[in-house]
Amino acid sequence: MKKIGVAILGLGVVGGGTYKILSEHRDFYKKVHGLDITVESVLEINKERAIALGVSESIISTNIAEICSNPDIDIVVEVIGGVEPAKSYVLAALNAGKSVVTSNKELFCKYSHELEKAAKKNNCGLFYEACVCGGIPVIRSLTDNLQGNKITSIMGIINGTTNYILTKMSNEGVTYSEVVKEAQKLGYAEANPSADVEGYDAAYKLSILSSLSFHTKIPFTEVYREGITEIDNTDIKYGKKLGYSLKLLAIGKNSENGIEVRVHPAFINSTHPLASVNDSYNAVYITGDCVEDVMLYGRGAGALPTGSAIVGDIIYCATHEKFNYSTFDNTANCDPATKFITNFESAYYLRLVAQDRTGVLSRVSSVLSKNDISVAQVIQDKVNKQDNTVQLIITTHLTHEKNINKAVKEINSIDGFAKVNSIIRVVS
Ligand code: HSE
């Protein structure tokens, strides 16, 4: 029986879930994989928390050097989160010859070049399935199963907190701030929810996914990012009338014109498979030249789903002699030859509040047509008698960001005529 010693750095939600899975499935892994996986040490300053999880006091440590020098430890699991001290601990473990499994998307996204260099130098494995979409096996799908493809596009709902918020807003008509408070109470959203609601978490994940998909380094700083903090229920309501669902989408595309990577709220047609991904669930929709479309769906967070990804990596690491590293030159910055598209092409939804008087619609449409924007649909809601205004909803055919931004500026600059309150991209 092959013995595998594991150390877990951090016993928070994911660390606790990993510990539970490893403890409860020990006999199962012995039988199925011929592996006796034991937790030899946990790094946790909160002793009580560790003991409450059933960890024996004798294996609780607060010293990374002790873990690195322990010959019984083969694999170090880093689930602390954030950059420091996680980065120093991971580098120390790799330099001590231990393979590392991490769920830390911020660390991996920003420093995978340094971590991978240390892993290669020390002939260690570096595994990160748990960094993206919790229990969904998307990393290994990209690094192994889909390697035969040229991947042209990857589109996903890769943040559970924002998907939970948008689903609640859409189904129950509650406001953004009400749902955030509720999500915090339920433990879905952090006390400071900015990493999720401002799209950083999704941008870290998209940087990792698109680098793997397109075989070139896509630094996080190249990902265009907009969060959901400005979303208004009014737009969700009008979107529904048009047959759309509102989602925080992460989109990566690779074409002969270049690469585009973006995270922003978007309307998608309610018939699209991603439209039915609700609550805190995640899904990733990948298009490859051979496989065509693949959609992976599941829990993107949580103790056991993310623990499942970590334990999968531990078993993979324990059963492979040779480790895979990036298929591209993993440097801090992108290859200078990489061309990024920032003037995205998209269809758009615009909501204007306009004066209800003769010629307003024709002036709006003349600004749009001057900017090479073709109108797909127009809805005019009933007149607000108090100020004699109307809500005007316009959807467009495909056009470019620059055209839309220019047209909106122009419309807004005509005093007392119409104001564009919302611009939302529509993804088909
Ligand atoms: N906070 C993330 C989410 C989970 O809401 O999806 C960890 O990445």
Looking at ligand 1, which atom is closest to the CA of residue 164? 5
The finding on whether 265 has its CB within 6 A of some atom of ligand 1 is no
Q: Residue 140: CB partners within 8 Å, gap ≥ 6?
A: 129, 312, 316
Q: How far is the CA of 160 from the centre of ligand 1 (A)?
A: 5
Q: What is the pLDDT of residue 416?
A: 73
- Rounded CA gap, 402 and 418, in Å? 20
Q: What is the pLDDT of residue 189?
A: 81
Q: How far is the CA of 161 from the centre of ligand 1 (A)?
A: 6
Q: How far is the CA of 261 from the centre of ligand 1 (A)?
A: 19
The finding on whether 300 has its CB within 6 A of some atom of ligand 1 is yes
Looking at ligand 1, which atom is closest to the CA of residue 195? 1
pTM (2 decimals)?
Answer: 0.96
Amino acid letter, 407: A
Q: What is the pLDDT of residue 40?
A: 98
Mutation test residue for ligand 1: of 109, 159, 263, 278, the one with most atoms within 8 Å of CB: 159
Nearest to 107 by CA among 96, 93, 121, 97: 93
pLDDT tens digits, one per residue of 387-425: 899 999 999 999 999 999 999 999 999 877 899 999 999
Q: What is the pLDDT of residue 191?
A: 84
Q: What is the pLDDT of residue 184?
A: 86
Q: What is the pLDDT of residue 63?
A: 95
**Which pairs count as long-range contacts for 238-241, CB under 8 Å and 24+ apart, including other chains?**
238/349, 238/351, 238/379, 238/391, 238/393, 239/267, 239/349, 239/424, 240/170, 241/379
Q: What is the pLDDT of residue 185?
A: 86
Catalytic residues: 205
Q: How far is the CA of 130 from the centre of ligand 1 (A)?
A: 11
The finding on whether 180 has its CB within 6 A of some atom of ligand 1 is no
Looking at ligand 1, which atom is closest to the CA of residue 306? 7
Q: What is the pLDDT of residue 131?
A: 97
| Cβ density class 316-339: b for 16+ within 10 Å, e for less | bbbeeeeeeebeeebeeebeeeee
Q: What is the pLDDT of residue 262?
A: 98
Q: What is the pLDDT of residue 281?
A: 97
The finding on whether 301 has its CB within 6 A of some atom of ligand 1 is yes
Ligand 1, atom 4: closest residue by C-alpha: 301
Q: What is the pLDDT of residue 330?
A: 96
- Say how many C-beta atoms besides its own lie within 10 A of residue 142's C-beta: 24
Give, in order, the Cα–Cα distances in Å from 185 to each of 160, 167, 174, 180, 227.
15, 17, 16, 9, 21
Q: 348, 385 in Cβ contact below 8 A?
A: no
Q: What residue ranges of the chain have pLDDT lower than 50?
A: none
